[in-house]
Amino acid sequence: MLRSNYEIGTIFSGTRATAPPVRRRSCSRSLPFFKSLEVSFATTKVNIRLMRMDSYGGCGIPVTKLPRHLIVMDVARVEPDGLDEKAQKEVDEGSNLLEKEEMHLEEQHKAGQLKNRVIYGFVIGIAVGGIILAGGWVYTIGVAAAVFIAAREYFGLVRSDGIAMGMTPPPRYVSRVCSVICALMPVWTLYAGHIDISVTSAAFVVATALLLQRGNPRFAQLSSAVFGLFYCGYLPCFWVKLRCSLSLPALNTKIGYFWPVLLGGPTHWTAGLVATLLSISSIIAADTFAFLGGKQAFGRTPLINISPKKTWEGAIVGLAGCVATSVILSKLLFWPKSLTSAVALGFLNFFGSLFGDLTESMIKRDAGVKDSGSLIPGHGGILDRVDSYIFTGALVYSFVKTFLPLWGV
């Protein structure tokens, strides 16, 4: 026989609320008494199905889940009065059943997330592919829109409790102004052909606004704001320069000669378009192969503490997939001509994407969040999707302009 007194509190949406007046009720039942329990509130009676009983020594803590509320036993002491082997066996069987049920629910949740990830990833891939092929102002406005949302998410992370506890974040109006400036940088890049003046001017405006604010300006405010301009505004502009400024037609492949007139004709098939398609495809391959090789196949050795889920095995498989994709596409598109250049591009794309991913992981880890946002089901926020591309555009553009004669055509 087991006897216990329960004093019950409630939790709503993860936040403990003040429980309604509760009359303590004594419960005396034979095992398995924890399968159901009648609880008397001041206004009503609730029949609770107890889901788990964790026991240590002579004490047990029953826990139950209701459809909309989680009932937690704040005080739950079970006095054993002759707990025999049969009773202990029933307790163990109940715990095992609960663990199997929780594992099944977790597998269903992961399967649903993977389904959303694939569906939304496919739709986004088609939309992004169309924007890249369009080029010009359509491409630039698409980049600017993504930059604006990513900047808003970045400054949201900076203002989160995890980071704000250790520093003073920029004022909200400064964060909003920085987001708008970041979105205007790609537009200015296409219009003026360069981005140096826009970055220095934006940094001057932000620094002035912070210095003239009420109260005591903090260096942490300036550093986080200027880094946001660099991270979310300056670096993505290189994708505009890569796609739009390398305008020499790449007619050394049949695709260029037979490019449809509705899509701009042969002159629209430029070195910038080929370089952009090759780089983005290589980054997608790196992420995909790293996921399959690291999580699904044989990932065992952690890569870095910043991102515990990443493994050395996944990184090696991702690197191999990225380089292989770069080489294969270079043969199909006849760009770049040199095998060495194609391999180098593969390495640059991989390490740029990995560094961008780890940088965002560091920011999210300090902020204490899993995702930067929830805009895309199964993926998180925009910043979660573009983190691998932020540094890569600058690396690829610099490589193409510096090391490939005539842009590799």
What type of residue is 392? T
pLDDT of residue 271: 87
Contact yes or no for 40/54 (Cβ under 8 A): no
DSSP 41: B
The pLDDT profile of the chain, 409 residues, written as one tens digit per residue, is 333 333 333 333 333 333 444 443 434 333 344 444 444 444 444 444 444 444 444 444 444 444 434 444 443 444 444 456 766 676 677 677 777 777 877 777 677 777 777 888 889 999 999 999 989 999 999 999 999 999 999 999 998 877 877 788 888 989 999 999 999 999 999 998 888 777 888 889 888 888 888 778 888 889 999 999 999 999 999 999 999 988 887 767 667 777 776 777 777 788 899 999 999 999 999 999 998 887 666 778 888 888 888 899 899 999 999 999 999 999 988 888 889 999 999 999 999 999 999 999 999 988 888 889 888 887 789 999 999 999 999 999 999 988 886 544 4
pLDDT of residue 296: 60
Q: Burial code of 183-209, b = ≥16 C-beta within 10 A, e = fewer?
A: bbbbbbbbeeeebeebbeebbeebeeb
| Residue whose pair of structure tokens reads 């199909």 in the numeric block | 332
pLDDT of residue 276: 95
pLDDT of residue 87: 65
In Å, how far from its chain's centre is CA 235?
19
What ranges make up the beta strands (E) of 287-380? 302-304, 307-311
- Helix (H) / strand (E) containing 14: none
- State the Cα–Cα distance between residues 309 and 305, nearest whole angstrom: 9
- State the Cα–Cα distance between residues 85 and 93, nearest whole angstrom: 12
What would the two tokens of residue 351 be?
A: 């390490």
How many CA atoms lie within 13 Å of 186's alpha carbon, on the beta-carbon side? 32
| Percentages (nearest 5) of helix, strand, coil residues in the chain | 60, 15, 25
pLDDT of residue 79: 44
Contact yes or no for 314/293 (Cβ under 8 A): yes
